[in-house]
């Protein structure tokens, strides 16, 4: 049976090839057409696999701006305890970071986020990591997935789950990772990236969050107080 199939395939290929000899340009067309056909088939499969609706909250005019006071929230940490900013009595500020498990840009920043917390929590600025994604859309970002990742990487900071997706829209987070540095009074002082080189920590020349904290420590306003970076859109079901 297998041999018969192979023979037919061979026959088909040879026919195609010999036709090619007579008309090279036609082959180009055929190849393009068949590539297109294959593409359509494959893309259809991709389409079916990812048919679940995915939505992105637009950044336009939504969420906290620098200078606005953030509302406190209560979210579940990977250890099962409910955490709110108000619980951290000694904090002089909060590095609220929307991040997740699946996004390559979040992964690129995991070690830097650990270092940032280790360095800054001692100064009164803990990292508050929040996963804003809906695991129904992005299964890797489930609460169990978060627990596993936190264990693997020994996250020294809280890793909270925005499971009703009510916190990230308040902040106006649009991507992961996306940092909102709050001061002691929960006023937003800086929004954006952790530093200026996602792909290569060695090539970083500006540590935006660190610099912003230094400015706050000196009683100054962070400059810049807003930066942009590539990240993964926040995954939510289509409304």
Partner 1 sequence: MIRLLSLFSLLCFLACNTPTPPEVDTEKLPEKTTAATSKIPVVDYNGLAPIFTQKSDTTYVINFWATWCKPCVAELPYFLELHETYKDQKYKFIFVSLDFPKQIEKKLMPFLEKNPLPGEVIVLDDSDSNTWIPAVDPEWSGAIPATMVYNGDRKIFAEKSFHDFTELSDWVETLK
CA distance 148 to 159: 11
Q: Helix or strand or coil: residue 95? A: strand
CA separation, residue 237 to residues 130, 163, 174, 234 (Å): 18, 12, 14, 10
Question: Would you say 130 and 171 are in contact if contact means Cβ atoms under 8 Å apart?
Answer: no
**Which pair of tokens denotes residue 53?**
């609706």
Position of tokens 């991709």? 46
**Cβ closer to partner 1: 77 or 174?**
174
**Cβ closer to partner 1: 39 or 82?**
39
Q: How far is the CB of 197 from partner 1 (least distance, A)?
A: 4
- Measuring CA to CA, which residue among 186, 200, 171 is closest to residue 97? 171
Interface positions with partner 1 (CB under 8 A): 6, 9-10, 13-14, 17-18, 20-21, 24-25, 27-28, 30-32, 35-36, 38-40, 42-44, 46-47, 50-51, 53-56, 58-60, 103-104, 137-138, 174-175, 178, 192-193, 196-200, 203, 224, 227-235, 238
Total residue length of the chain: 239
Q: How far is the CB of 72 from partner 1 (least distance, A)?
A: 24
CA distance 37 to 121: 56
Phi, psi (5° rounding) for residue 165?
Answer: 50, 45
Q: How far is the CB of 57 from partner 1 (least distance, A)?
A: 9
Q: How far is the CB of 134 from partner 1 (least distance, A)?
A: 12
Q: How far is the CB of 135 from partner 1 (least distance, A)?
A: 13
**Cβ closer to partner 1: 221 or 228?**
228
**Cβ closer to partner 1: 13 or 71?**
13
Cβ neighbours for 111, distance < 8 A, ≥ 6 positions apart: 153, 201
**Cβ closer to partner 1: 62 or 92?**
62
Q: How far is the CB of 148 from partner 1 (least distance, A)?
A: 20
Q: How far is the CB of 111 from partner 1 (least distance, A)?
A: 17
Question: Would you say 95 and 120 are in contact if contact means Cβ atoms under 8 Å apart?
Answer: yes
CA distance 45 to 144: 29
């Amino acid at each position: 049976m297998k041999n018969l199939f192979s023979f037919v395939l061979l026959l088909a290929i040879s026919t195609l090839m010999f036709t090619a000899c007579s008309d090279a340009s036609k082959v180009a067309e055929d190849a393009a057409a068949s590539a297109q056909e294959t593409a359509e088939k494959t893309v259809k499969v991709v389409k079916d696999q990812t048919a679940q609706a995915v939505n992105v909250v637009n950044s336009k005019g939504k969420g906290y701006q620098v200078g606005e006071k953030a509302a406190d929230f209560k979210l579940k940490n990977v250890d099962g305890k409910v955490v709110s900013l108000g619980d951290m009595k000694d904090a002089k500020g909060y590095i609220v970071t929307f991040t997740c498990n699946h996004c390559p840009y979040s992964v690129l920043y995991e070690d830097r986020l650990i270092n940032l917390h280790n360095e800054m929590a001692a100064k009164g600025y803990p990292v508050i990591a929040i996963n804003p994604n809906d695991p129904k859309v992005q299964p890797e970002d489930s609460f169990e997935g978060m627990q596993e990742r936190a264990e693997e990487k020994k996250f020294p900071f809280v890793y909270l789950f925005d499971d009703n997706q009510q916190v990230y829209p308040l902040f106006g987070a649009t991507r992961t990772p996306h940092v909102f540095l709050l001061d002691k009074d929960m006023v937003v002082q800086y929004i954006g990236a952790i530093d200026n080189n996602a792909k290569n920590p060695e090539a970083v020349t500006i540590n935006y969050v660190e610099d912003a904290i230094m400015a706050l420590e000196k009683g100054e306003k962070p400059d810049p107080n807003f930066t942009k970076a590539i990240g993964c859109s926040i995954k939510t079901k289509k409304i």
